[in-house]
């Protein structure tokens, strides 16, 4: 009996849940754990890539500076670059960064940014923050900007390192004007442009279409100063829609549909940070429904952006309608931490004075901009010039007609089919 009693009192040891031999992917706790690990690894890799890019650009700056200074001090000619490339290639085999062409680019890179007049302008413009970067308020600069040459060179060395080397090659190869180069460099750094986006913005001449001084909008009255400055950097005075291939009068609905079919190109034209939400976005108010032509969300402004398309010139009632839409958007769909929604009216033409009076009493931020379908073509000639397809057809027809004449001039005639002997 004693033995049986002792057996009943003995309890089996409980297994710890941590000793499970397998983990299922359906486990919510594991999915959260895995997501956290992936985010941490991705962040570390991104930060490591930034550090590597930064060090690489500063290395190229130093190499370019050394080549330029040694050529000036020792009277060396162009041959030193070729020799340096060969020697570095032997010392670091398999490295493609020290080709003669790349060494010349390094020299040109340093030479372009280190000229005194350019450096003064670059230090002044790059050292003055826009007010916010990616939605975060910048801290005020603790140290004054350098005024002497050694300090300016050190400042520029740090400033140019914010962009990858490929971006700098685009700036050097595509832009001659210093002010334009500084503007695109600043935008690329603060908006996080990739090299392809930077190239597209340069080809689209974005710097010529940026809105300044509140012309065509009421941002300074309707938004906080920092957000207003950012919004003006985002809004352009005109948008080039030539990628739609429009060569005749179209309705607003047809224009809208073409933009949706080419939404990728349209987002590139709008600028970096726009995310497409929907077409004919429905707003319900009581028993009635209203539709916004195009609705976007801007990642850096952290707000909804409503776009209304007009194929004709701007009318004051357009501003009233947009103001109404923004009121409903802010009440019905604006997220808790979002900034006030912004409206953009895209029209064929507008009068600055009419726009100013139309927006003066509006509480919501609204901008008015023009859209163009042909690039750098006078208004009086739009629709009268042939398209690329029409030109190609004319050239093909002309070549077909030219061939028989060319054969006659050269004395060659088309061969006749052979006849059988009787």
* Cβ atoms within 10 Å of 31's Cβ, excluding its own: 12
What is the predicted pLDDT for the residue at 82?
93
Q: Which CATH number fits domain 219-381: 3.40.1350.10, 3.40.50.1100, 3.40.50.10490, 3.60.15.10?
A: 3.40.1350.10
Start-end of H helices in 308-351: 316-332
The whole-angstrom separation of Cα 266 and Cα 262 is: 6
Residues facing residue 281 across a β-bridge: 292
In 210-245, which positions are buried (b, 16+ CB within 10 angstroms) versus exposed (e)? ebeeeebbbbeebbeebbbbbbbbbbbbebbbbbbe
Rounded CA Rg of the chain: 32
- Sketch the domain layout of the chain as residue ranges: 29-208, 219-381
pLDDT at res. 138: 44
Short-list 299, 275, 271, CA closest to 134: 299
By three-state DSSP, how is residue 71 classified?
helix
* pTM, 2 dp: 0.55
- Torsion over CA: 271, 272, 278, 281 (sign): negative
Rounded-to-integer distance, Cα 419 and Cα 159, Å: 82
Which ranges in 276-348 belong to alpha helices (H)?
316-332
Per-residue model confidence (pLDDT) at position 127: 61
Residue 214: strand, helix, or coil: coil
Cα–Cα distance measured from residue 246 to residue 143, given in angstroms and rounded to the nearest whole number = 53
Rounded to whole angstroms, the Cα distance separating 64 from 165 reads 13
Residue 306: the pLDDT is 94
Taking CA atoms, 46 is separated from 38, 40, 162, 353, in Å, by 12, 10, 14, 48
Residue with tokens 């429009």: 246
Identify the pLDDT of residue 391.
60
Longest dimension (CA), the chain: 131
Q: Give the model's pLDDT for residue 62.
A: 93
Instruction: Tell me which residues of the chain have a pLDDT lower than 70.
Output: 1-26, 117, 119, 125-150, 209-215, 237-238, 240-250, 262-265, 268-269, 372-395, 399, 401-422
Which pLDDT does position 67 carry in this prediction? 94
Q: What is the pLDDT of residue 161?
A: 86
Distance of CA 332 to the CA centre of its chain: 30
Q: What is the pLDDT of residue 254?
A: 75
Continuous H helices in 204-301 = 219-222, 225-234, 252-261, 263-270
């Amino acid at each position: 009996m004693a033995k049986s009693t002792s057996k009943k009192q003995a309890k089996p040891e409980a297994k710890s849940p941590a000793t499970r031999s397998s983990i299922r992917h359906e486990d919510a706790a594991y999915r959260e754990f895995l997501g956290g690990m992936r985010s941490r690894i991705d962040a570390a890799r991104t930060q490591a890539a930034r550090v590597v890019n930064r060090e690489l650009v500063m290395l190229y700056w130093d190499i370019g500076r050394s080549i330029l200074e040694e050529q000036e001090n020792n009277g060396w000619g162009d041959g030193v670059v070729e020799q340096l490339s060969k020697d570095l290639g032997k010392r670091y085999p398999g490295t493609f960064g020290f080709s003669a062409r790349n060494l010349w680019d390094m020299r040109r890179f340093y030479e372009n940014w280190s000229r005194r007049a350019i450096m003064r302008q670059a230090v002044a413009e790059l050292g003055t923050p826009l007010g916010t970067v990616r939605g975060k308020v910048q801290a005020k600069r603790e140290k004054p900007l350098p005024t002497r040459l050694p300090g300016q060179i050190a400042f520029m060395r740090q400033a140019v390192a914010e962009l990858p080397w490929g971006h700098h090659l685009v700036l050097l190869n595509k832009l001659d004007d210093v002010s334009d180069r500084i503007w695109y460099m600043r935008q690329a750094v603060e908006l996080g442009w990739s090299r392809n986006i930077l190239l597209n913005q340069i080809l689209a001449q974005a710097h010529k279409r940026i809105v300044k001084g509140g012309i065509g909008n009421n941002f300074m009255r309707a938004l906080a100063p920092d957000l207003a400055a950012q919004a003006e950097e985002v809004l352009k005075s005109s948008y080039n829609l030539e990628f739609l291939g429009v060569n005749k009068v179209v309705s607003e609905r047809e224009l809208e549909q073409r933009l949706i079919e080419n939404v990728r190109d349209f987002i590139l034209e709008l600028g970096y940070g726009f995310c497409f939400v929907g077409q004919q976005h429905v707003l319900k108010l009581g028993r009635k429904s209203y539709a916004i032509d195009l609705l976007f969300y801007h990642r850096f402004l952290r707000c909804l952006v409503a776009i209304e398309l007009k194929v004709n010139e701007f009318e004051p009632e357009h501003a009233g309608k947009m103001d109404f839409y923004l009121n409903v958007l802010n009440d019905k769909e604006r997220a808790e931490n979002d900034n006030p929604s912004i409206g953009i009216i895209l029209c064929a033409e507008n009068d600055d004075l009419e726009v100013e009076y139309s927006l003066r009493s509006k509480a919501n931020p609204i901008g008015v901009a023009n859209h163009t379908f042909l690039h750098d073509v006078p208004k009086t000639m739009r629709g009268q010039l042939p398209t690329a397809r029409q030109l190609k057809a004319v050239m093909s027809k002309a070549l077909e007609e030219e061939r028989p004449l060319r054969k006659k001039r050269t004395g060659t005639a088309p061969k006749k089919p052979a006849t059988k002997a009787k």
